[in-house]
A = this chain, B = another copy of it.
Amino acid sequence: MSAADLRRDSVWWGWGRTDGRPTLGAGAKQMLTEELGETKGVEAVPIESVALPAAQPLSEAVLDAAGGEGAVSTNAEDRLRHAAGKSYPDLVRVRAGSPSGAPDAVLAPTSAESVGAVLATCSAQQVAVVPFGGGTSVVGGVEPLRANFGRLVSLDLTGLRAVSVDERSQTATLGPGLRGPEAEAALNARGYTLGHFPQSFPYATIGGFAATRSAGQASTGYGRFDELVTSVTMQTPEGPVSTLQTPHTAAGPALRELIIGSEGTLGVITEVTVRIRPNPDTRRYEGWFAPGFEEGIEIGRALSQGGVEPDIFRLSNRDETRVSLALAGLGGLRKRALESYLGIRRRSEGCMVIVGWEGDPESVARRRELSAALLRSGGAVPLGRSVGNSWEHGRYEGPYMRDALMDAGVMVETLETSHTYSRIDALYTAVRSALHEAMAGQGAPGIVMCHVSHLYRDGASLYFTFLSARRPGGEIDQWHAVKSAACEAIVSTGGTITHHHGVGRDHAGYMTAEVGELGIAALGAVKDRLDPAGIMNPGKLLPD
């Protein structure tokens, strides 16, 4: 197998491209020092000093099932690149040169049948399998946890990237290994879009979107990924399962909804059919400023319950608004000019709102007018398109900023939840307080940023980002204490443990709070039936 087959086009120790990476400006560094105290910078070790456990040999049967030598790599860098996702603890460990284990080999079969053969063989031979799409999980979804298995392989889906389009039905059948931009380019070439643009878009894959119930920045308009999927095929150790390709069925419990969100614990998704749309002629993004976070949520409620929500709605709390300005500036807009403008309008304590509409020019204009009326009546003031365009320009850059913050010695992590409009203020307050308290309890003050990223008629999502000075040598304990405090706050307020990041390793312990013990037992019964040996992505999704 050549290295290129496994796509080494990003840094191994963090996120994304090797060149032209955003860095922290002087203003950002000053703000961090002022708010977090002095931090001790730390960069990734050289790749040569990464210590991987020795690779255990695999049987000929497993290698043959994958497609033979050309579909197998035991190269150290390939193993390293499949040893972790992109969560903060993942990156802490990888950058320190000590990932939590590594697969014994990376298998990259090129057909669904071969995937099925690998799973059946691994099941018979007690080899754990971690399905690997883009490897962008931020919840420990691709950690090579072995449970009781002596051997573990990473099953890379790079080889499954077929695209076929049914223009009449506006659906596309996509291979799981297609990255966001690859799928989008193939659809754009025919005049369509999937409309799925999570921050992980440049590297995340179609299979991962389905397996983790992904939601993207425009999902308020286009629908979350689970809403876009019409049918799905999954290979399991016991054989393939697939759902009918029809717009809807009332035939019993939804098997499709068992496969979506299964995070590789039941099998490997090998084909996904999704609804697509004509690629919009017009995209209009704007910045607005709401009087406050609660007031901004009220605007979101008015928009969604009025049926005039924009395709994109992102409302930042005051801290996120402030830090975003300091960290990244606002593109063409001068920060000071903006502050002066807002100060004059008595909105200097307000919250940034990004709104966007996509479609034909007439519908964008019409829908914008309806949204704008509610934004204004909620007390928001327009900042214009340059702010919106600046957001668009940087919409996938967040993870680079995380790397830069980690380089600077900052603990930086995100988590997300959702609740009804009746309970969202309580949820926001509880999680924010828990994060502040926990960070202070770990010995350093913190910043808690939050934004609403998705609107529903009955509620909205909350996406938190928190920063604090890392505790050198104690990063994982520090992270765990803070993350746990936030999760407990979510659970005790009745919010969901995840709105779109998924469960993975990090949230598995909270699944009982989510669906109850009998719910866990029901999901466990499905797992036992489809994966009786328990080889599929051990330690993820369900509590031990």
- One of B422, B499, B530 near A169 (C-beta < 8 A): B422
- One of B245, B259, B301 near A494 (C-beta < 8 A): B245
Question: Closest Cβ of chain B: how far from A276's Cβ, in Å?
Answer: 9
The CB with the most chain B CB atoms within 10 A, among A236, A244, A307, is that of: A244
Question: Closest Cβ of chain B: how far from A498's Cβ, in Å?
Answer: 5
State in angstroms the CA–CA spacing of A498 and B224 once bound together.
25
Minimal Cβ-Cβ distance residue in B for A249 = B496
State in angstroms the CA–CA spacing of A528 and B419 once bound together.
32
Q: Are B457 and A250 in contact (CB under 8 A)?
A: no
Q: Are B255 and A261 in contact (CB under 8 A)?
A: no
Residues of B within 8 A of A160 (CB): none
Q: Are B253 and A307 in contact (CB under 8 A)?
A: no
Question: Closest Cβ of chain B: how far from A238's Cβ, in Å?
Answer: 6
Whether, in the assembled complex, A458 has its beta carbon less than 8 Å from a beta carbon of chain B, the answer is: yes
Residues of B within 8 A of A515 (CB): 241, 243-244, 251-252, 255
Residues of B within 8 A of A247 (CB): 418-420, 456-461
Lowest 3 CB-CB distances: which A-B pairs, in order? A257-B257, A247-B459, A213-B250
Whether, in the assembled complex, A345 has its beta carbon less than 8 Å from a beta carbon of chain B, the answer is: no
Q: Are B252 and A459 in contact (CB under 8 A)?
A: no
- One of B236, B507, B542 near A518 (C-beta < 8 A): B236
State in angstroms the CA–CA spacing of A211 and B363 once bound together.
38
Known: A241-B519, A251-B497. 17 other contacts (CB 8 A): A166-B422, A169-B423, A213-B250, A242-B519, A243-B515, A247-B418, A247-B420, A249-B418, A251-B261, A251-B498, A251-B507, A251-B510, A252-B263, A253-B259, A254-B261, A258-B258, A522-B530
Copy tally for this chain in the complex stands at 2
Q: Which residues in chain A, 232-289, are within 8 Å of chain B measured between CB atoms?
A: 236, 238-255, 257-263, 266, 275, 277-278
State in angstroms the CA–CA spacing of A324 and B524 once bound together.
51
Q: Are B525 and A529 in contact (CB under 8 A)?
A: yes
Q: Are A522 and B241 in contact (CB under 8 A)?
A: yes
- One of B261, B456, B495 near A252 (C-beta < 8 A): B261
Minimal Cβ-Cβ distance residue in B for A212 = B250
Whether, in the assembled complex, A158 has its beta carbon less than 8 Å from a beta carbon of chain B, the answer is: no
- Using an 8 Å CB-CB cutoff, how does the interface string of A191-223 with B read, 1 for contact, 0 for none? 000000000000000000000111100000000
Question: Closest Cβ of chain B: how far from A492's Cβ, in Å?
Answer: 13
Q: Which residues in chain A, 286-302, are within 8 Å of chain B measured between CB atoms?
A: 301
- Using an 8 Å CB-CB cutoff, how does the interface string of A351-373 with B read, 1 for contact, 0 for none? 00000000100010010000000
Q: Are A498 and B263 in contact (CB under 8 A)?
A: no
Whether, in the assembled complex, A398 has its beta carbon less than 8 Å from a beta carbon of chain B, the answer is: no
Q: Are A500 and B253 in contact (CB under 8 A)?
A: no
Residues of B within 8 A of A457 (CB): 170, 247, 275, 277
Residues of B within 8 A of A456 (CB): 247-248
Whether, in the assembled complex, A514 has its beta carbon less than 8 Å from a beta carbon of chain B, the answer is: yes
Whether, in the assembled complex, A526 has its beta carbon less than 8 Å from a beta carbon of chain B, the answer is: yes
Whether, in the assembled complex, A501 has its beta carbon less than 8 Å from a beta carbon of chain B, the answer is: yes
Q: Are A529 and B519 in contact (CB under 8 A)?
A: no
- One of B236, B246, B307 near A496 (C-beta < 8 A): B246
Q: Are A305 and B170 in contact (CB under 8 A)?
A: yes
Whether, in the assembled complex, A450 has its beta carbon less than 8 Å from a beta carbon of chain B, the answer is: no
- Using an 8 Å CB-CB cutoff, how does the interface string of A501-544 with B read, 1 for contact, 0 for none? 11100010011001110110111111011100000000001100
Question: Closest Cβ of chain B: how far from A291's Cβ, in Å?
Answer: 19
Question: Closest Cβ of chain B: how far from A301's Cβ, in Å?
Answer: 8
Q: Are A252 and B511 in contact (CB under 8 A)?
A: yes
Known contacts A255-B519, A523-B253; A459/B246 CB under 8 A: yes
Question: Closest Cβ of chain B: how far from A248's Cβ, in Å?
Answer: 6
Q: Are B246 and A166 in contact (CB under 8 A)?
A: no
Q: Are A503 and B418 in contact (CB under 8 A)?
A: no
Minimal Cβ-Cβ distance residue in B for A542 = B252
State in angstroms the CA–CA spacing of A170 and B529 once bound together.
39
Q: Are B171 and A458 in contact (CB under 8 A)?
A: yes
Question: Closest Cβ of chain B: how far from A26's Cβ, in Å?
Answer: 38
